[in-house]
Structure 1
Amino acid sequence: MPQITTSCRTENPLVPVGMISHGTLTSLDLQKSRRFYEEVLGLEVIQTSPVSMLIRLGSDHTYAVVETGQPSTMGLLDHNGLDVPSAEAVDDAYAALVANKSEYGIGRVTKPLMQHGTYSFYFADCDGNWWEIVHFGPRGYAPMYENPALDITGRTDIDLDALEHTGSDEQASRPGDA
């Protein structure tokens, strides 16, 4: 059931984490995965062992890609976001992926549409990992942390059924903002 949470922020967390540094993706075949990451997505790739490599682009956050020989169990909701500079770039990416599905072993590709405050679509890569191609802005979701009015934590004046998945200017201006 949807709900509005209360903050549990503390100055002394149990684990003093400095940054989110990486995630892990599975691979059926490391060479095919590498080709997909470099030729389709233009990611930086380094191989770190016979069964693993690291991928990244645009930041220090990386993904370890590990060859397991098993398809990913990742669902669409567990996707990874890839930001592009415009709505037209979303449409171009959609057309390119659909046109090259068989060449790169791409799975299901959803149609682009406005959803959760962004224009985007989802697709499954050759390993079954899900990705979202999205036009949100030059820094992705990061600016939302700079607008305290977008944080609905602890608010009681909001109609939960009327909220979008991500904050909007309309949500930020509702009565009760601090």
Structure 2
Amino acid sequence: MPSITERFVGEPLLNVRRIGHGTLETVDVARARRFYEEVIGLDVIQTSPRSVMIRLNTDHVYAVVETGRPSEMSMMAHNGLDVGSVDEVHEAHRRLSEVQEQWGIKTITEPRHMHGDTSFYFTDPDGNWWEIVAVRDGGYAADFTDDDRDITGLHEFDDEAGIVHFRHTHDPDFRARVGEVLAARDGADRR
């Protein structure tokens, strides 16, 4: 059941520097490379006969490894691809829909406005899920610089879990509710 969490204030067990990479599976590394370069526009290098590394505009990379079997990734475990506007979300949807069969894209959802962002999801030819999303400058990482987007410890929302658990502070209505709770707690209007 979704719940509000508390921040850990001790020392972590490990001394990790950063999240550096993730791994995606592919049936065919050559086909995957073409898809990631020609369709999505990612930077690609080949690191072994059965793997490539992909990235775009950050130091975070994914290793794409040929396993010979399609991915069983769930939609919830998707990879986000930020675009600059809602119009760009719709244009990306149109363009991917036009080449869906040609590139073996298994699923493309309809664009929708949800939790304050507009996006749609699709699966690449290997079954890995991707989201095309229009978010504010800095993407979701910007949330780490905005204290009002962190609902850690706001147990006032625990009893609203049935309503709130798929909402984010990207959603203006939910963000307003968070502001009300913070204002009541702090005795000042923080909106």
- Shorter chain as denominator, the TM-score bin is over 0.9
Instruction: Encode CA deviations 1:15-74: one digit per residue, 9 max, x unaligned.
Output: 111100000000110111011000001100000000001000010000000000100010
Matched, 1:173 2:175: no
* TM-score normalised by L of structure 1: 0.94
Q: Which residue of structure 2 aligns with residue 78 of structure 1?
A: 77
Answer 1 or 2: which has greater helix percent: 2
The correspondence of residues 46-85 of structure 1 with structure 2, limited to 5 A, is 46-85=45-84
Letter in 2 for 1:167: T
Q: CA deviation at 1:13?
A: 1.0
Aligned positions of 1:4-153 closer than 5 A: 4-10=4-10, 12-153=11-152
Aligned CA RMSD, in angstroms, stands at 1.4
Q: Which amino acid aligns with 1:50?
A: P
Residues 75-111 of structure 1: per-residue CA shift (max 9 Å, x gap): 1011000000000000000011111011111111000
Structure 1's consecutive aligned runs of 4 or more residues displaced over 4 angstroms after TM superposition are none
Q: How many residues were matched structurally? A: 177
Q: Distance in 2 between matches of 1:71 and 1:171?
A: 42
Q: What SS does the aligned partner of 2:58 have? A: coil
Structure 2: segments with no counterpart, 5+ residues: 187-191
User: How far 1:162 moved relative to its partner?
Assistant: 4.1
Structure 1: state its 5+ residue gaps: none
Contact kept, 8 Å, 1:150 with 1:171, in 2: the verdict is no
Letter in 2 for 1:19: R
Query: What is the aligned-residue identity percentage?
Result: 45
The TM-score normalised by the length of structure 2 is: 0.88
